Chain A
């Protein structure tokens, strides 16, 4: 089970913001920078590094990335808000993405999504469950249409999920 968030990450920056591009984070960024002729091209990879560490990308995180790459914070925010996989708010310890676009939709994807809401206790899509454990969202085509319904739980890509298989899946991650 990969990519789940710690409690601290799920809560947001309860303590002061811990810089990302120091030590190992800085080394990783430098390795990325070496692969592109411009600093700005390291932006998407840099944002992934921040999200890996903090579980989401806060305005402080955006400002840190901006400074590291010589960009303005406004520019970085414009990019963050364009791409749906970057979280602009803390999410639950587990982040569930359920594809409901047409090829999965005709195979019952919406019922899979509803099953996740029920099994996790999250009241609606995008809203973290009261115990802080789960955020479930509907997403667009995940590129596994022949394995309907594909679901991502954190970094795990799970194929062929049915409403019936949801409770056991959720239990496994709990």
Chain B
């Protein structure tokens, strides 16, 4: 649903059909809408069958990495020698992204159901739902729904009376974007600073509390009941462009767009149609300048590039960017690209955990150079310096926060050279006088 707008005919509202319906948040309301049938079905299948169905669907991680969910579940040990854990990543902090919040506050039972099915599949008896601390409404709504689910025996010591234990606990974050990184999330649950971990070992071998763990995004898990109920083949069939990108995706459209909101379309949907047809295009009197399609950590697209982009994993890569979280930041011709890149770099510098030298020092240095540019004190070497720092901040650290700071800097300098040149000219003029 293009909540808060009515569902657009070009949308495919699998996850978002009931956004905005207060009644959908209750157990009774959700069951009325078809809820918990998938969980019942899954508990009647073997765990391997559940994993196979999800593998067949082609469902990929919707948090940003796009890793095939069924394959990830398959990494968990078949022989259970220690407790297994499922963590639901509801830390949604990627700038531009606001879909998981909607899923949780409108369809909390969908997430509970997805978590329960996943837990069953990977032999996990405990699920931790890590919700960022600022999401006070989703925290409240999810807890209320969970209490209901327990009361109805849907989850708990004997989920749906099928002799399987599935416990879910909500764990509240406390203000750290980096805790959305799956290994940092695990450290945060363990009561540590949210530092990402070095890999190997990988979570499926050594995860939370040293035990095999799978971490999945809210949207990914909420898609699972649909896969189980209607079948993996059905989900795989939802694909407009590349067969490796299947199902539907919630795109969080924000920025200088006429109708900001979450819009759900089938994978491979043209970006152009999403922006202009579905989301209403630019505000009157403005033209599109740039789009960051996958949350702020992916390369920026020019308006011309955006026109040619198909919204799936491969389509975005073909245009030199990434689908990421699907948090689409729309920037029109009133946008000061240099200022906004500085503001993004400031975000990353604020959120750096401080472990890796390149990230800790490089994000802050990048901000300072850009601020100097904006103050009219830029030097001509500064652009090359920014690009050089960005290169040394990419692919050299424990996690990709460092790369994420570099991506908008590099793409902005390469694609909007005039805006940077204008600030440099101001600098030369100031120096001359």
A140 to B296, alpha carbons, bound, how many Å?
12
Contact partners of A97 in chain B: CB under 8 A: 134
Q: Does B392 contact A (CB under 8 A)?
A: no
Beyond A102-B340, A145-B252, whether A42 also contacts B191 by CB under 8 A is yes
- Closest chain-A Cβ to B169's Cβ sits at a distance in Å of 5
Contact (Cβ within 8 A) A102 B347: yes
Q: Does B320 contact A (CB under 8 A)?
A: no
Q: Nearest CB to that of A40 among chain B residues?
A: B191
- Closest chain-A Cβ to B275's Cβ sits at a distance in Å of 14
Stretch at the interface among A6-14, A16-24, A79-87, A115-123: A79-87
Beyond A85-B133, A147-B260, whether A44 also contacts B188 by CB under 8 A is yes
Query: Most chain-A Cβ atoms within 10 A of its Cβ — which of B96, B172, B296?
Result: B96
A100 to B344, alpha carbons, bound, how many Å?
10
Contact (Cβ within 8 A) A38 B134: no
Contact of B98 among A36, A86, A147, A155 (CB under 8 A): A147
A157 to B175, alpha carbons, bound, how many Å?
15
Contact (Cβ within 8 A) A41 B343: no
Contact partners of B83 in chain A: CB under 8 A: 37
Q: Nearest CB to that of B167 among chain A residues?
A: A35
Contact (Cβ within 8 A) A143 B255: no
A145 to B254, alpha carbons, bound, how many Å?
6
A140 to B256, alpha carbons, bound, how many Å?
18
Contact (Cβ within 8 A) B255 A106: yes
Beyond A101-B95, A145-B252, whether A83 also contacts B190 by CB under 8 A is no
Stretch at the interface among B48-56, B327-335, B362-370: B327-335
Q: Does A156 contact B (CB under 8 A)?
A: yes
Contact of A146 among B167, B171, B188, B252 (CB under 8 A): B252
Beyond A102-B347, A157-B134, whether A83 also contacts B94 by CB under 8 A is no
A155 to B137, alpha carbons, bound, how many Å?
9
Q: Does A136 contact B (CB under 8 A)?
A: no
Beyond A41-B190, A97-B134, A145-B97, whether A103 also contacts B329 by CB under 8 A is yes
Contact with A along B247-273 (1 / 0, CB 8 A): 000001111100011100000000000
Contact partners of B334 in chain A: CB under 8 A: 106
Contact of A102 among B4, B329, B332 (CB under 8 A): B329
Q: Does B174 contact A (CB under 8 A)?
A: yes
Contact of A83 among B92, B173, B209 (CB under 8 A): B173
Q: Does A144 contact B (CB under 8 A)?
A: yes
Q: Does B18 contact A (CB under 8 A)?
A: no
Q: How large is the interface on A (under 10, 10 to 19, 20 to 34, 35 or more residues)?
A: 35 or more
Contact (Cβ within 8 A) A103 B174: no
Q: Does B136 contact A (CB under 8 A)?
A: yes
Q: Does B194 contact A (CB under 8 A)?
A: yes
Docked complex: A72-128 residues within 8 A CB-CB of B: 78-79, 82-86, 97, 100-103, 105-107
Q: Does B397 contact A (CB under 8 A)?
A: no
A43 to B193, alpha carbons, bound, how many Å?
11
Contact of B209 among A37, A106, A147 (CB under 8 A): A37
Contact (Cβ within 8 A) B175 A84: yes
Beyond A103-B254, A141-B347, whether A79 also contacts B96 by CB under 8 A is no
Q: Does A29 contact B (CB under 8 A)?
A: no
Contact partners of A146 in chain B: CB under 8 A: 98, 252-254, 260-262
- Closest chain-A Cβ to B235's Cβ sits at a distance in Å of 26
Contact of A140 among B93, B260, B335, B340 (CB under 8 A): B93
Q: Does B148 contact A (CB under 8 A)?
A: no
Contact partners of A156 in chain B: CB under 8 A: 136
Q: Does B192 contact A (CB under 8 A)?
A: yes
Contact of B95 among A3, A82, A86, A141 (CB under 8 A): A141
Q: Does B350 contact A (CB under 8 A)?
A: yes
Contact partners of B343 in chain A: CB under 8 A: 100-102, 105
Contact partners of A69 in chain B: CB under 8 A: 191
A97 to B175, alpha carbons, bound, how many Å?
12
Contact (Cβ within 8 A) A148 B254: yes
Beyond A97-B134, A102-B340, whether A44 also contacts B351 by CB under 8 A is no
Beyond A146-B260, A157-B137, whether A102 also contacts B350 by CB under 8 A is no
Contact (Cβ within 8 A) A85 B134: yes
19 interchain pairs, CB-CB under 8 A = A41-B209, A45-B172, A71-B191, A78-B193, A82-B193, A85-B173, A102-B296, A103-B95, A103-B96, A140-B177, A140-B351, A141-B177, A142-B134, A143-B98, A144-B101, A145-B260, A147-B4, A152-B134, A155-B136
Interfacial residues, chain B to chain A (CB-CB below 8 A):
4, 83, 92-98, 100-101, 132-137, 167, 169, 171-177, 188-194, 209, 252-256, 260-262, 296, 327, 329, 331-332, 334-335, 340, 343-344, 347, 350-351, 353
Q: A37-B83, A40-B192, A101-B344 are in contact. List 5 more A-B contacts (CB 8 A).
A: A103-B254, A140-B347, A140-B351, A145-B252, A145-B254
| A-B pairs, 9 with minimum CB distance | A43-B191, A83-B174, A85-B175, A84-B175, A145-B254, A40-B191, A146-B260, A141-B95, A82-B193
